[in-house]
Structure 1
Amino acid sequence: METEEVSLVPPPRRSGNRTKRVRGIIFLKDVAVLALTSFGGPQAHLAMMFRLLVDKRRYLTSAELVELTALCQIVPGPSSTQTITAIGFRLGGPNLAYLTLLVWMTPAVTFMTVFALSISYLDPSLVARLVQFVQPIAIGFVAYSAYKIAEKVIHTKTSVALMVSGAMLAYSFQLPAVLPLLLLAGGLITAFRYSKLPQIEQKQPLRVEWANFALWLGVLIAAAVLGHYTRWLPVRLFENFYRNGSLVFGGGQVLAPLLFAEFVEFKRYLTAPEFLSGLGLVQAMPGPNFSFASYIGTLAMRREDAGVSGQLLGALVASAGIFLPGTFLIFFLIRFWDQLKQYRVVKASLEGINAVSAGLVWAATFLLYHPLPDTPVNLILVASTFLLLLWNKIPSYVIIGAGLVAGILF
């Protein structure tokens, strides 16, 4: 009687899934590093993403990062947050993307909430001294980001013309709606050159998944209805910030004046000095500038006399309201973006979008410098930061840390 031979060797594990999980964990650690060390707003964040995510880790190419950034600038919301969550989506799908969003926003939101809770004990002059050198350093980061983008995407005379035109128009017309219109116009101009590109014979079918768009729109409508009929302040705060997050193009610099008009001048949830102190603090914080919403939400809940727990709830609903709209919208677009790029018209338009994107960052460099005193110290700090980043030997957080220490000492 023959007996069946039983193998005692266990079946091989699926090393692919394990490798993917390990890569996802490493990516989240890199996101945490960026969240704790990336100062200066979306353009400066992009420079650090180039250094860590592209040059060092090679999660994606420079062209892919520029393309994602341009795509995120077309839709409303915090562009650097949308960019990094979109990278997480490409590496590990929706689960990794939402974890990326949580890791990216948590440090800045926590810092700004703590500052809001202790705002009564902070000296505004101390805040001004603390950030006096960080601001010109941040502009150096922006200039470096503009240089890196131009180096990667400007290869034709048309690209040069679009970059210069985009920079001049963005500098002259400082309106939120101008930025996406310029990007779309740049893409439209180069789209007419599609016939010069090779044709793809077998295209993947274009399948649009409407779930995230429906989610964004549904939450917007539900929040508006509840915000209109309820008297509970946390619900109204969520509606206020969700609406602003759904309509604002251009990042934290555009968001700030809108929040000032609504929460200081109209609703008087906080005073102008409190608002300006928080705005100064968020410039010195790493991570997304949209974390300023948690600061306002924390101070707004003082009206409810709900104590620290109520203020923490205000920070939570404000953060969720400001970050969720842009996340829903970019997840809607990113799912069919690769299929959309197969069409020559779309692919040709990327040249113009990328060129205008470079011009917008150059414009931001000069626009952000204008509010600063035009002193030799500030000019030297901008130039020195730019050169140190080109040298690529000193970590970014060391440069920012030196600026913070200098602000305390001098």
Structure 2
Amino acid sequence: MTPAARVQAAIELLDAAVAAAREGGAAADTLIARYFKERRYAGSKDRRAVRDLVYRAIRRSGERPASGRAAMLGLAEEDPELGALFDGSPHGPAPIAAGEEAAPAAAVPRWLESRFDPLVGPGEWPALLERAPLDLRVNLLKGDVDAARQALPEAEAAPLSPIGLRLPEGWRVEDSEAWRTGLVEVQDEGSQLLSLACAAAPGMTVVDLCAGAGGKTLALAAAMGNEGRVVAADVDRTRLGRTAPRLARAGVGIVETRLLDPLKELEALADLRGGADLVLVDAPCSGTGTWRRNPETRWRLTPDRLARLVKLQSHLLDIAVELLRPGGHLVYAVCSLLREEGRDQAEALCSRRSGLVAQSPPIPGGRPAGPGLILSPGHDGTDGFFVARWRSPC
């Protein structure tokens, strides 16, 4: 592909990403994979160059652009060499017309600016779009951190997590023996800290209420030494179905999965009501704390969707309280930096469930935010999270 053809390919992919964001379609990574599967003639350098252009444009555009061309024109305004490739050559983009509109640069969509937690001000917003590091959690069921460091000599200790490692960007951990044998699991350091905030211990009965594909379920089971009971529950059959092979590779044998019906969750969990030592609610959220991994999600979020998520989070917290035994612990987490999903949600639970005793999550890093802590890329170098912990009255 010529340099101009790469630009045109990026424009086509951005058009697809804009449409997918508007209509709830596939993620940008999936769109890129499909695009090049149909274009086998594109070499590895072409694929890397096009992907880089696509993500540069996505990271630059806080608001959903009018088109892929508008997004790329925004980049071209800041990069004259890129602008010169709009030359009308074969397979390249048409020349830039006078007055043609380019997408403006912004880290945060305008309608969200006032909704960030006050601790995460505009000075931290650029960090939300930086490239995320490759973090690993050491699976203590298969070995310790020293063993993982020996197996992966390129890795460094994670800055905050005592069970974390960090690899250089672009490292293919799935090709390593350490990953294949279950010694390490890919997991952002912030997610590792959330699991540590649970303080899970051997013999506990634990409910992971929004387990998804089981990333934190695995961490909880490892912290329990594979002794006790973990119920991994979710309403998404596809994501929950991905748990089994991960459990097998990690050597975990104490997890059972349960598929829940939305708004009927307690019916499927009736046998656990009042009996859980620990309930983790890693709730569905806006994902504002993970923009550095999925920057196009900024284009998908709307006020209506955010309102539905906040309502769902409140519903899940009330379910979690019902599952706790006297003296049990509830941990609430969202990969969001918005006040209404974090500290406001936690404060609202304290108001309507006044018997709960707020406790500081026992983790390094973060800043106090109401009853919980907030971690952010700009302050902690992790994905953005809010986490709070309570003890049920005895």
TM-score tier, shorter chain, comes to under 0.3
Q: Which is bigger in relative contact order (C-alpha 8 A, separation at least 6)?
A: 1
Q: Report the TM-score when normalising by structure 1.
A: 0.25
Q: Report the TM-score when normalising by structure 2.
A: 0.25
Query: Greater share of strand residues, 1 or 2?
Result: 2
